[in-house]
A = this chain, B = another copy of it.
Amino acid sequence: MNITGVVVEYNPFHNGHALHVNESKKETNADLIIAVMSGNFLQRGEPALVSKWSRTKMALANGVDIVLELPYVYATQHAETFANGAVSILNGIGANAICFGSEAGDIQQFKHLVSYISKNEDTYQVFVQQFLKEGMSYPKALATAFTKMENRDEMLDLSRPNNILGYHYVKAIYEQSSKITPYTIQRTTAQYHDKEVPIQSIASATSIRESIIKQKKDLKTIEHVVPTSTFMEIQDFLDLHNGFQHWERLFPFLKYKILTSSIEDLGNIYEAEEGLEYRIASCIKEATSFQELMKELKTKRYTWTRLQRYCLHILTNTSKLEMKHVTTPSPYIRVLGMNQKGRDYINSYKKQMDVPLISTLSKYRHPFIEIEKRAATCYALGFDPIIQNKLMTQEYAHPPIILKSVDCV
């Protein structure tokens, strides 16, 4: 049985994602597609537009058979930890392939680079450290160090975001001695950072979010770039929650937290390095919005993503001490949803699993789950009081979503 994993955020699920699922099936000749999906908060240090449950439904309605959660402790990290966590979950659930989109589109380039850098690790690290000392951000230092390596013209371009992630999936597969075979599909239309929804049917998730939240446009502007099931789910979410989640809704809590914490406490939060705690304690005083805070915080040294992640960990009160224990493999695998085919697979496979398979959070205890609950709480607090409690209860008690065949779009 061919079981293919995809690592996703689906924020929200759109036509490009549907295309990726279909192409992944073809490319790997998959019998089953498993998505490892981030939960309430995403890699760029942002809350998801709609809940993990809504996004799970979108995935199941569009060809994904099982949705597993990528825990907060992996999902909100730089590419290496993110990829390590995701690959370990795919390993744990018995996937034998992973298929990711990339700018390069040629899996040999990834394999070659992983092998090359592993052989020339020392030289590479010397360059990385040099550029970090010169004041570059970490991703920029990685990419620039790479341009200094020999024969680099023939190798993978590590300055492209999806190439970086792909590189780390392949690296994680090697490092975890996994039997998973990596595949990649070339990303063509829609740039990751597009701000406008294009006329054609493929748009980036960024442009879709911008369109909905910031430009306050009618939902109809995104109807042609998402599957009907997504469109209906987004509308349902809006009706039920009276809005979408975004940083500005959570900013009052972030501001409160920063202003009532000691410098020492802010310094104990994960990602507080190089005096960032002093900088944020000063910048917050005048800021009346998250955007204002971020603009004040931003320097050449820190990427926007890095700063957003620090803000997120302050919000969720996630400490360096807690994150110190984040290793792979993931200590549990949580199922967010599945269709009948996915359910049959899980029932047949679960006895072979080395890690616990969790269907309801309340039944299992682990320090990572405490962090997950706090993250869910923060996510919920951005909504009205009645919705807050519903979302929090869902986090503890919601069983996996089971999509019956007749529900399929």
Contacts and interface: CB of A to CB of B under 8 A. Distances in A.
Interface string A364-404: 00000000001001100100011011001000000000000
Nearest to A370: B262
Contact of A289 (B260, B286, B385): B385
Contacts of A257: 256-257, 260
Copies in the complex: 2
A256 B253 contact: yes
Contacts of A374: 259-260
A179 interface: no
A255 to B, nearest CB: 7
Contact of A377 (B260, B286, B317, B377): B260
Given A385-B288, A386-B288, A389-B286, A256 B256 contact: yes
A350 interface: no
Contacts of A252: 252-253, 381
Given A252-B252, A255-B381, A381-B255, A261 B392 contact: no
Nearest to A252: B381
Nearest to A253: B256
A388 B286 CA distance: 10
A315 B255 CA distance: 13
Contacts of A316: 260
Contacts of A320: none
Interface in A266-285: 285
A389 B317 contact: no
A288 B388 contact: yes
A260 B381 CA distance: 11
Majority secondary structure of chain A interface residues (helix, strand, loop or mixed):
helix
Contacts of A285: 389, 392
Nearest to A258: B377
A255 B257 CA distance: 12
A259 B377 contact: yes
A258 to B, nearest CB: 10
B381 A256 contact: yes
A378 B288 contact: no
Contacts of A255: 381
A252 B256 CA distance: 10
A260 B389 contact: no
Q: Which of A261, A286, A317 has the most CB of B within 10 A?
A: A317
B261 A389 contact: no
Interface in A226-263: 252-253, 255-257, 259-261
A388 B251 CA distance: 13
Q: Which of A260, A261, A285 has the most CB of B within 10 A?
A: A260
A257 B386 CA distance: 18
Nearest to A388: B288
Contacts of A289: 385
A253 B378 CA distance: 11
Contacts of A261: 317
A378 B260 contact: yes
Contacts of A317: 260-261
A261 B385 CA distance: 19
Nearest to A285: B392
B256 A378 contact: yes
Given A286-B389, A288-B389, 8 more contacts: A253-B256, A256-B256, A256-B377, A260-B316, A260-B317, A260-B378, A288-B385, A289-B385
13 contacts: A255-B381, A256-B256, A256-B377, A256-B381, A257-B257, A257-B260, A260-B316, A260-B317, A260-B377, A260-B378, A285-B392, A286-B389, A288-B388
Q: What 10 pairs between A and B have smallest CB-CB spacing?
A: A288-B385, A260-B317, A259-B377, A253-B256, A260-B374, A256-B381, A288-B389, A260-B377, A286-B389, A288-B386
